[in-house]
């Protein structure tokens, strides 16, 4: 191991660049649908050794060391994000004649931008770098801060945060309930980096002991929650039906058979329940499933009333339009509607956090002024809601709606989550085809259930649709690309879960502790070399 570490540290030029990219790319194997848990141990071990190679030149000026560390982290991030997000380009191939030109921007441009955060992580770590296990803490601090910043800067995009690689199964998801995604990320980087200590053997015993303790606590807390927290429904709760129509995205965009698409959703909704099972109280359709402006199509509402049985509620994704003054363009919202068996709209909630270049174009006016019409022509046209509206059903069940990728943002969930009895996530991942994208999205949505202590009701056009309990366990669901319906009673929520404020406090305590360890180690190294 020492010999291998030495070779990695001494790499330079093209070989160093190639290894940094490859190390990041290999780490993406820890993400769904692959779930190779050990992949990130190899990735971060190599990254530590590559960082050690930079630290072996203490005579270099501070700015030069920061620049080298930044470039190394950026290369690592480029590999990780290209390997983990290449499937984004599939959305542009749905209308390839119009948007294929933007494929390099999606496959390489976005990863190159996101990799800047990992460059920042390694730069910060280099300031606290030492020769023992303290350098693992330095790397943990850098990545913990960088992933937190990535969740909100430039609208935020915390997709595939490192912490998700440490939470592939419910047993390993429970830590998120106590310390949140970014707290788990910080601790995970330390643990993933621990094998690097075998390369130099400095701080080996203490570092491995600490990493082993953290990992044992991670598993132990998970086992404790899974064996002591009861989320079993009592048989009297709300029955939901998830409708998964599996409609090809190109068909949805053509708008030539909107009536047929609508009737397909209704036909699935009207399927009889299995023998001995209760009928659904609530039927859920995916994001933008209604191909009309509901408020302008009374016939569609009448058809819904014909299909729904007395007392049933339909929750469906649709576009909502809002007209302003004469001469002003109407506003369109990506919304979810609640409709009763009389065809009456009981409530609606609009998407708050829109997808850049998917639902709106950032700086559209500025781009138009500069003549960049090709970017402005990208799919979009939605307006973001100022606030999120909860949906309260007639039976008093209250849903916290998250539309599409809103489910990947831990910070998107506000204090009003306390009023909710379940999270509702409707999405349309058919844009991305049979790629890792829908599987990654599903894992991240499950983590929101664990963090909040609420069950998750998730409905997706092509999948993965599922009812998930507050411990992240799938109660029932439909596999990707499987057309049909599934009925399930909504599980009970967990009592006494940490709230978002407590998780944030725990996150910052972890970051501060790691910083303290790294700082003390760095001071000790300086004293030893003076």
CATH number of 239-352+387-493: 3.60.110.10
| pLDDT at 527 (0 to 100) | 55
**Cβ neighbour number for residue 433 with a 10 Å cutoff:** 18
How far from 474 is each of 366, 449, 464, 478, CA to CA, in Å? Answer: 45, 11, 11, 10
Measuring CA to CA, which residue among 445, 487, 442, 490 is closest to residue 469?
Answer: 490
| pLDDT at 118 (0 to 100) | 98
Positions marked catalytic: 287, 351, 404
Q: What backbone phi and psi angles, to 5 degrees, belong to 275?
A: -55, 130
Q: What backbone phi and psi angles, to 5 degrees, belong to 482?
A: -105, 115
Q: Are strands 391-392 and 345-350 parallel, antiparallel or unpaired?
A: unpaired
Q: Let me know how many helices (H) and strands (E) the chain has, helices first.
A: 19, 12
Which ranges of 56-133 does DSSP label H, i.e. alpha helix? 62-85, 90-93, 96-99, 103-104, 110-127
C-beta separation of 357 from 336 below 8 A: no
291: left (phi over 0), alpha (psi -120 to 50) or beta: alpha
Query: How many Å apart are CA 82 and CA 77, to the nearest integer?
Result: 8
| pLDDT at 354 (0 to 100) | 86
Reduced 3-state DSSP string for 4-35: HHHHHHHCCHHHHHHHHHHHHHHHHHHCCCCC
C-beta separation of 493 from 470 below 8 A: yes
Measuring CA to CA, which residue among 214, 215, 216, 218 is closest to residue 514?
Answer: 214
C-beta separation of 5 from 58 below 8 A: no
| pLDDT at 415 (0 to 100) | 86
**Domain spans in the chain, listed from the N-terminal domain onward:** 2-228+502-529, 239-352+387-493
End-to-end CA distance of the chain, in Å? Answer: 30
Measuring CA to CA, which residue among 224, 227, 187, 173 is closest to residue 32?
Answer: 173
**DSSP assignment letter at 200:** H
Render 417-432 in DSSP notation, one character per residue.
Answer: GGG-SEEEEEE-GGGG
Instruction: Label residues 289-325 b or e (16+ Cβ within 10 Å = b).
Output: bbbbebeebeebbebbeebbeeebbbbbbbbbeeeee
| pLDDT at 116 (0 to 100) | 97
Query: How many Å apart are CA 78 and CA 80, to the nearest integer?
Result: 5
Tell me the sheet residues that pair with 284.
242, 315
Measuring CA to CA, which residue among 65, 72, 66 is closest to residue 44?
Answer: 72
Q: pLDDT tens track of the chain, all 530 residues?
A: 778 888 888 888 999 999 999 999 999 999 999 999 999 999 999 999 999 998 766 556 788 889 999 999 999 999 999 999 999 988 777 777 677 777 888 889 999 999 999 999 999 999 999 888 999 999 999 999 999 999 999 889 999 999 999 999 999 999 999 999 999 999 999 999 999 999 988 889 999 999 999 999 999 999 999 999 888 887 788 999 999 999 988 777 777 788 899 999 999 999 998 888 899 999 999 999 998 888 888 989 999 999 999 999 999 999 998 887 776 778 889 999 999 999 999 999 999 988 887 676 665 555 455 444 444 344 457 888 888 999 999 988 999 999 998 999 998 898 889 899 999 999 999 889 899 999 999 999 999 999 999 999 999 999 899 999 999 999 999 999 999 999 999 998 886 678 888 999 999 999 999 999 999 988 875 555 54
């Amino acid at each position: 191991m020492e010999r291998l570490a030495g070779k990695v540290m001494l790499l330079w030029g093209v070989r160093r660049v190639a290894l940094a990219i490859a190390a990041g790319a290999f780490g993406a194997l820890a993400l769904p649908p692959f779930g190779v848990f050990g992949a990130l141990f190899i990735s971060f071990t190599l990254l530590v050794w590559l960082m050690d190679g930079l630290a072996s030149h203490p005579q270099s000026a501070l700015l030069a060391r920061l620049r080298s560390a930044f470039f190394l982290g950026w290369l690592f991030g480029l590999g990780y994000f290209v390997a983990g997000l290449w499937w984004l380009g599939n959305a542009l191939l749905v209308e390839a004649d119009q948007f294929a030109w933007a494929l390099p921007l999606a496959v390489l441009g976005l990863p190159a931008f996101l990799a800047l955060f990992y460059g920042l992580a390694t730069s910060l770590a280099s300031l606290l770098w030492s020769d023992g296990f303290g350098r693992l803490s330095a790397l943990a601090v850098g990545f913990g801060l960088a992933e937190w910043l990535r969740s909100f800067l430039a609208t935020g995009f915390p997709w595939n945060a490192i912490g998700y690689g440490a939470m592939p199964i419910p047993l390993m998801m429970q830590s998120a309930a106590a310390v949140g995604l970014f707290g788990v990320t910080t601790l995970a980087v330390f643990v993933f980096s621990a094998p690097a200590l075998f390369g130099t053997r400095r701080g080996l015993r203490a570092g491995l002991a600490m990493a082993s303790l953290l990992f044992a606590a991670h598993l132990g807390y998970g086992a404790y929650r899974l064996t002591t927290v009861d989320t079993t429904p009592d048989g009297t709760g709300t029955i939901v039906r998830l409708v998964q129509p599996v409609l090809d995205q190109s068909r949805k965009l053509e708008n030539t058979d909107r009536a047929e698409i609508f009737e397909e959703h209704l036909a699935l909704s009207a399927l009889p329940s299995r023998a001995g099972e209760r009928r659904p109280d609530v039927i859920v359709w995916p994001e933008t499933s209604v191909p009309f402006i509901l408020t302008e199509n009374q016939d569609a509402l009448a058809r819904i009333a014909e299909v729904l049985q007395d007392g049933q509620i339909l929750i469906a994704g649709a576009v909502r339009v809002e007209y302003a003054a004469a001469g002003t363009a109407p506003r369109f919202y990506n919304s979810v509607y609640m409709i009763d068996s009389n065809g009456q709209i009981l409530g609606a909630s609009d998407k708050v956090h829109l997808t850049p270049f998917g639902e709106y174009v950032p700086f559209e006016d500025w781009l138009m002024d500069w003549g960049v019409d090709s970017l402005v022509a990208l799919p979009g046209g939605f307006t973001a809601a100022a606030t999120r509206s909860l949906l309260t059903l007639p039976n008093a069940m209250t849903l916290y709606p998250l539309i599409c990728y809103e489910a990947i943002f831990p910070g998107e969930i506000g204090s009003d989550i306390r009023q909710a009895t379940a999270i509702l996530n409707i999405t349309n991942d058919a844009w991305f085809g049979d790629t890792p994208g829908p599987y990654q999205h599903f894992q991240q949505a499950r983590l929101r259930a664990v963090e909040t202590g609420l069950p998750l009701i998730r409905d997706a056009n092509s999948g993965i649709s599922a009812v998930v309990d507050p411990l992240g366990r799938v109660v029932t669901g439909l596999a990707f690309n499987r057309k049909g319906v599934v009925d399930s009673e909504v599980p009970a929520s967990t009592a006494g879960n940490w709230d978002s404020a407590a998780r944030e406090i725990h996150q910052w305590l972890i970051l501060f502790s790691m910083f303290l360890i790294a700082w003390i180690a760095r001071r000790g190294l300086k004293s030893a070399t003076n």
